Structures are given as C-alpha cells and as structure tokens.
C-alpha cells in the first residue's frame, strides 16, 4: 500500500509539473508580451529564455538533491505557488521599476534583463522539480520515458485549460492564480501535516485572490495606467482604456491604439474615399471604432459594413468611445459583424454584433441584426462587392498582422471590389528619412499589391496612406479637391491646401519612384518578409548599426547543397563523440521546435486566431509527446537486446531510429502542404500535424533513454537538459532567423535536412 502511494505521488507530481509548466508559460509569456508593448520578438525570446533556465534547473537538480525523500518535492510545489503570482507582479511592475518613460521602450539590455529575471525562478524551479520527480518515479521501478510521458500529459491538461480560460476572457492574473491553486490541489493528498497546513493557507489566499481577481487586476494595471477605467484580457490581446480631462486613450497590449483627439482617422478615410467618384458600398476591416466609420459616413454611402476581429473588444470599447462620438450604431446603413476579416472576404460569412446596451432591451433579437436593431432583415444582407475597402488592421509587425498585407490577402480584396473599386490602408514609416528596411518593407508590400492591382499610389508621411485599384488612380489634386468641396466634408485636418501639398511636393514623386524600383521580395503567406523587416526596424531603435543590414537573403540550390554538406561534416565529427546520445536528443528537440514554430505561424497565417487556439495546438503537441514517450520503449518487446546508440550493438534499435528520423524528415518536408492548400488549413489538420511532430520528437527521447547502459537516475538530468537546450535553439533560430529571413517553406526544408543528417549519429 505504501509503495502504491509513493508511485501515485510521483506520478501525480510529474503530471502537476507538466500542467504548471504549460499553463505557467501561457500566463507569463502573455504578461511579458503586454509589458513590452506586444512586440512578437520579445515573446519568442522569452520562450527561449524559459527553456534555457529550465535546462539549467535540470542540470542543477542533479547535484542539488542527494536524497529521495518526498518533502523536498512538496516544498518546491509550495514554493511554486508563491513564485508564479510574484512573477506576474514583477512583470507588471517592470516599467515603473526600471524608470521607463510612459509610452517609450526600455533599453534593449534592460528588456532582456527583465525577461531573464522573470523566467529565471520558475524556469529553474520547474527544471529541478522534473529531475527530482523523475528520480523518485524511477526509484519505484518505472522508466524515464514514462516519467517524460506523464509530464507531457500534464502539459496537455494545462494547454486545454489555458484555452478554456482565454475563450471566456478570464483575466490572465486569475489564470495564474488558478494554475497555482490546481497545482497545490493535485498534490494536497500527499502532503504531510505541516505541509497541509501551509498549503491550506495558500489555497485560501489563492481562492480569495481569484474571487477578487478583477479588483487586483485593475490595481496592478494602474501601476502603468494611473487613469485606468477598464482592463480586459481577450483571446487576441489585453485592452486597457484610460480617461483624463475628457481625453480617452485605448491601449492594445499597452501600446496606444487610439485617442479621441487624434486626426489620423479623418486623414486616412478622406484621402482614400476621395479617390472614388461615388463610394456607395464601403467595407471597413478593423479599426471602425477608432473613427473610421464616423468619417466614412460623411461621404453619405448607401451601405457600410464594419467587420471587427474581436467581439470582446467591441463590448469594452463601444460604451466608452461612444461618449465622444455621434453614435454610428444608430445608423441603419451601418452593419457591424465580428469575424476574421480574411475569412469574411473569402466566405462572406460573419457573426452579427449586437451592442450590449441594445441586447439587454431585446427579448428576441434579429439573427441578422447589427447597428440599428429595428430595420428590415432584407436591408442587412451583406453586399458581394464594395466600392471601397478600408483596411484598419494593425501594421504587419507580427505573424497575425502580416496576413493582412500579403499577396494572397490582396487577391481576396480584389475579388470583393466592384468595377473601379479601391483598396486603402496605412503603413507607418518616418516623416523625412526612410531607412533601407523601411523602403524594403514598403517595397515588399508594394510588390504584393502590384501582383494583384494595376495601380498603386503612396501618400508619404509619418503614416503613409496607400491606395490600390485595378484601374489608374488619380495623382493630381484638382479632382480630389473638387470632390471634397462637392461632398461638403467637415474635418479638422483635411482641406484643399493639404491635398494640394500631399500630391505636389517632391517627396510624393520620390517615394513612389523609389518604391516602384526597389529590389524587395514579395510579401506572401509562406514568406512573411514584413515580419522580419519590422523586427529589424524595431531592433534598430536600440542598435543603429542594424540600419545597414542587407535583408535580401536568398538560398539557391547551391546554397542548400553547401548547407547540407556542412551539416553532414559537423554531425559526422560528433558521431564518434562520447556525448552523441545527448546530441541526438538535442537535435530532436531542435527539429521539434522548428516544426512547432513553423506550424504555429502557419496556422496564424491561415486562420489568424493563434492566441485563441494556441492552447489546443500545444495540447496536441504535448499529447503527441505523451504517446511517443509511452509507446516507443514498448518497441523493445520485439528485440531481446537494445544497447547504446553509440555502440550500435542492436541492429533492431538502429533500424527503429532510422525509421523515426526518416519519417520525421518526410513529415517536415511534406508539412509545406499545410501552407499551400486550403483544405489542410483547419484546426483539425494543424492539430494532427502538431501531434505527429510531438510523437516523433518524444519517441527519439524515449528510445535514447531506454538504450543507455547507465543507470536511469544518472541520465535524467543530461538528457532532459539536452532536450530543453535543443528546443531553445530551435525556437529562437526558427522564429528570429529561419522563418522571417528564409520563409516557412525553407524552415520546414531545414528541419527535414536536420532529420536526415541526424541519421549519421545513429
């Protein structure tokens, strides 16, 4: 009975570690993403740092713990329940602690230091906890592979719970508290009397914190938003609204998205709309609450369709921003829908949005209601074509936003434009001097546009207004000025003098000429060059020498041959090294993370809802790892002797390794189909791909651990650390270099080459 209890305790501990690791990652990475203004590069670097500290913890655990007594592990779980909430508080206080100027970035070294400090305690702690729990589990007669499988199973549960919490827009702070609470509850039965008293106190504090989560969330957010009115976590971002002396400011991931004193909306809308002689049907994709709909109404169209990605965003922003607006919600010509703009263009399907204030007064709302609730259903039919499409989505600084600035997206827009229709959007740059990266970013989008449209016009400024059409656009101001006067447009910033200046100054001709002839790759779904260029532009704020970096990197066939030959030579040299089994595990972790990064970004490009479904996809990956780690060792039943990989004493063992690595290479190469076809771009197919990636990666770990002649206790730390270090290298290299520089297809090819080259180590 005592032995069974010990086995159950160690198994429960491994599941709890996996659960806390994945859900803790989701919570802390989301906090870091907000703390550094939603810059995707920070998010990826933080994940790499997390894996690195976990590897350090795994290595330290080998020397730090000499006994197998359970109190060591229990104390660490109790410590985890303290550290995670404190870590959240530290991240939210990073900018005030380091004396950041409101709205300005901290120095890059400070940001990296803050990320390192944030990931250090929990990363090292979880790494040590796995080593101790695995040693305890193995001491009771189980294998390292099964211990690894149990940790992955906990990760599946944590990922699914993270998705569920995000789906219901549960505060990220509450999600962190829930992670700590459930982790303690899982192990509560196995605590001794003193530990139960301490953990009971912690559970009580956590429950009170969850109940008062909204108040605590607001209080900690006010450290950076002293005039906060509301804050809310959505499946896409964190929204905060500040008000002061009549001014309203709305932030997405702490980056200013809108303020009611800005004239940006009227400049964008009127300069774009005046290009069309009679815009009767206008489609607005995102940003409608930021004045785009109000300004478009001044042109007296017959129909405006406003599509917003995030329903929760509308629920939060609408009642606050409407105070400062005339209220376009009451116009019968305005239809409001929630959908991914890309899917809307493709299928013409969306969910009608009913403002909360109107929904509360309706007992049976119309299924097609939007805007004014009382109008006839036939009046709410969505037009199949539009005279003008205004794209108000964020600039292409991430995989999510980049999908609205690719050749494929522009082609969808062109298919929904009427004869003589116009597409318009904005792109940030500099007022007077454009760096090489700025020119190339604009050039990559320009080339994507010219693949679809006959004419493109850029109005340069701090924020460029870009219009594209299948016919020639106006480039002389006289007609535009006449239309402005005829339509009797009242605006603070748009007048005939400004229009004349924008179309006749030297910069207009210069920028349009330079962009037309610049050598830049086309921004596409499979090669998101804008993501990389925007990253370099951001980094150049801290490292000015990066302005000189040549971003045009092209791999031809000779390059691929040399890459493969060089890698083969390196691995062949490592083949005879004493540490070759650990190199295999590290290589498997690297390939697994390359595949995971490529598939996640591919899903983001195709579906645009990665933040909503990331828990499901990560759970699929962890479920695959669970199955691979549990299944692979059972292959030993078919062989009487499986010895070390280095000595190759078992031909059967070698055959299994060859089969898995070959399958991994074939799958990596074939994963390009996810990017090139629409029928494989759904959640089910990407989830299956994530499952297979995790299965093959974990199978290699399990086989290596089962093939070592040393005591399982001795190889826990180095094998687990090798896996984490390989994963760290894979996610950093894939997300920062391979994907943005070479594209998703090339990244998958590199993963395939690495898998084939790994055959040398077997």
The per-residue pLDDT for range 562-580, each reduced to its tens digit, is 566 566 666 665 555 555 6
What percent of the chain shows pLDDT beyond 90?
29
- Is the pLDDT confidence value at 463 over 90? no
Q: Residue range 162-179: average pLDDT?
A: 88
As given in the structure block, the two tokens for residue 81 are 């329940």
Asked whether the CA dihedral 625, 78, 61, 90 is positive or negative, the reply is positive
Per-residue pLDDT reduced to its tens digit, 503-526: 998 888 888 888 888 888 898 887
Sequence length of the chain is: 762
Q: Would you say 146 and 6 are in contact if contact means Cβ atoms under 8 Å apart? A: no
Q: What is the pLDDT of residue 565?
A: 59
Tell me the chain's radius of gyration from C-alpha atoms: 28
Q: What pLDDT score was predicted for residue 676?
A: 72
Report helix, strand or coil for 543.
Answer: coil
Strand order in the sheet with 255-259: 228-233, 238-244, 247-252, 255-259
Does position 102 have pLDDT exceeding 90, yes or no?
no
If one compares 217 and 461, the residue with the highest pLDDT of the two is 217
Average pLDDT over residues 386-415: 89
Confidence (pLDDT) at 5: 45
At residue 415 the predicted structure's pLDDT band, cuts being 50, 70 and 90, is very high
**Most confidently modeled of 27-31, 422-426, 674-678, 737-741?**
422-426
Mean pLDDT of the chain: 81
Average pLDDT over every residue of 708-736:
78
Instruction: Please state, in angstroms and rounded to a whole number, the distance separating the CA atoms of residues 73 and 184.
Output: 12
pLDDT score for 376: 34
22: CB partners within 8 A, 6+ apart: 154, 155, 158, 159, 162, 618, 619, 622
Q: Does residue 274 surpass a pLDDT of 80? A: yes
Q: Is 151 a residue whose pLDDT tops 60?
A: yes
Q: What is the dihedral of CA 70, 74, 76, 78, to 10 degrees?
A: -170
**Confidence bin at 370 (pLDDT 50/70/90):** very low
Residue 7: per-residue pLDDT:
47
Element containing residue 247 per DSSP (H, E): strand 247-252
Tokens of 61: 């655990």
| Vertex 651 angle, CA 650 and 656, to 5° | 100
Q: What pTM did the predictor assign?
A: 0.82
pLDDT above 80: residue 297: yes
CA–CA gap between residue 259 and residue 489 (Å, rounded): 22
Which stretch, 171-175, 318-322, 358-362, has highest mean pLDDT? Answer: 171-175
The first and second tokens of residue 399, run together, are 């995989």
Neighbouring residues of 33: CB distance < 8 A, sequence distance ≥ 6: 39, 40, 42, 43, 253
**Residue 124 neighbours by CB distance under 10 Å:** 19
Nearest to 425 by CA among 279, 284, 529: 284
């Amino acid at each position: 009975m005592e032995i069974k209890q010990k086995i159950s305790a160690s198994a429960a501990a491994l599941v709890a570690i996996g659960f806390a690791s994945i859900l803790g990652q989701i919570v802390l990475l989301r906090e870091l993403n907000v703390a550094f203004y939603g810059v995707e590069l920070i998010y990826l670097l933080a994940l790499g740092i997390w894996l690195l500290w976990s590897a350090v913890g795994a290595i330290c655990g080998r020397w730090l713990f000499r006994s197998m007594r359970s109190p060591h592990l229990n104390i660490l779980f109790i410590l985890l329940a303290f550290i995670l909430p404190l870590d959240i508080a530290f991240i939210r206080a990073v900018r005030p602690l380091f004396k950041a100027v409101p709205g300005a970035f901290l120095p890059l070294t400070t940001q990296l230091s803050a990320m390192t400090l944030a990931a250090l305690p929990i990363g090292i702690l979880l790494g040590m906890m796995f080593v101790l729990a695995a040693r305890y589990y193995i001491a009771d007669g189980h294998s390292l592979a099964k211990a690894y499988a149990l940790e992955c199973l906990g990760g599946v549960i944590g990922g699914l719970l993270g998705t569920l919490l995000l789906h219901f827009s549960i505060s990220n702070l509450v999600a962190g508290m829930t992670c700590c609470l459930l982790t303690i509850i899982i192990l509560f039965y196995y605590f001794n009397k003193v530990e139960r008293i301490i953990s009971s106190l912690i559970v009580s504090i956590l429950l009170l914190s969850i109940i008062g989560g909204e108040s605590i969330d607001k209080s900690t957010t006010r450290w950076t938003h002293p005039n906060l009115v509301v804050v809310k976590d959505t499946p896409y971002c964190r929204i905060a609204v500040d008000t002061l002396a009549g001014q309203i400011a709305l932030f997405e991931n702490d980056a200013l998205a809108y303020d009611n004193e800005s004239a940006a909306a009227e400049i964008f809308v009127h300069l774009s709309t005046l290009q069309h002689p009679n815009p009767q049907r206008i489609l607005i994709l995102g940003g409608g609450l930021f004045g785009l709909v109000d300004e478009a109404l001044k042109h007296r169209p017959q129909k405006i369709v406003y599509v917003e990605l995030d329903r929760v965003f509308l629920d939060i922003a609408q009642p606050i921003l409407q105070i400062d607006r005339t209220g376009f919600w009451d116009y019968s010509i305005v239809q409001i829908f929630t959908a991914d703009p890309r899917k809307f263009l493709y299928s013409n399907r969306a969910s009608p949005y009913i403002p909360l204030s109107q929904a509360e007064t309706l007992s049976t709302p119309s299924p097609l209601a939007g805007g004014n609730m009382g109008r006839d259903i036939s009046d709410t039919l969505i037009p199949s074509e539009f005279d003008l499409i205004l794209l108000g989505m964020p600039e292409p600084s991430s995989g999510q936003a980049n999908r609205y600035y690719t050749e494929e997206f522009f082609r969808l827009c062109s298919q929904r434009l009427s004869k003589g229709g116009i597409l318009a959007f904005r792109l940030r740059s500099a007022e007077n001097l454009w760096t090489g990266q700025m020119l190339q970013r604009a050039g990559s989008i320009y080339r994507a546009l010219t693949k679809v449209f006959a004419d493109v016009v850029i109005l340069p400024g701090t924020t460029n207004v870009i219009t594209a059409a299948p016919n020639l656009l106006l480039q002389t101001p006289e007609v535009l000025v006449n239309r402005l006067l005829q339509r009797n447009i009242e605006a603070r910033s748009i007048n005939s003098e400004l229009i004349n200046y924008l179309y006749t100054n030297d910069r207009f001709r210069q920028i349009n000429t330079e962009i037309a002839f610049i050598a830049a790759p086309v921004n596409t779904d499979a090669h998101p060059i804008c993501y990389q260029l925007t990253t370099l532009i951001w980094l150049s704020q801290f490292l000015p020498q990066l302005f000189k970096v040549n971003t045009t990197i092209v791999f031809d066939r000779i390059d691929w041959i040399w890459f493969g030959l060089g890698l083969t030579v390196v691995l062949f040299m490592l083949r005879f090294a004493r540490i070759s089994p650990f190199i295999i595990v590290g290589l498997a972790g690297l390939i697994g993370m390359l595949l995971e990064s490529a598939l996640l970004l591919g899903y983001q490009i195709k579906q645009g809802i990665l933040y909503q479904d990331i828990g499901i996809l990560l759970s699929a990956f962890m479920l695959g790892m669970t199955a691979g780690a549990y299944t692979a060792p059972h292959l030993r039943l078919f062989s009487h002797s499986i010895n070390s990989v280095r000595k190759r004493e078992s031909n059967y063992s070698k055959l299994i390794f060859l089969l898995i690595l070959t399958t991994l290479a074939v799958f990596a190469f074939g994963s390009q189909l996810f990017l090139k076809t629409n029928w494989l771009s759904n959640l089910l197919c990407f989830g299956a791909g994530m499952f297979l990636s995790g299965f093959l990666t974990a199978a290699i770990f399990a086989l290596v651990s089962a093939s070592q002649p040393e005591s399982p206790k001795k190889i826990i730390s180095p094998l687990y650390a090798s896996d984490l270090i390989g994963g760290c290298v894979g996610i950093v290299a894939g997300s920062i270099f391979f994907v943005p520089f070479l594209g998703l297809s090339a990244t998958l090819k590199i993963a395939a080459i690495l898998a084939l080259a790994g055959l040398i180590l077997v």
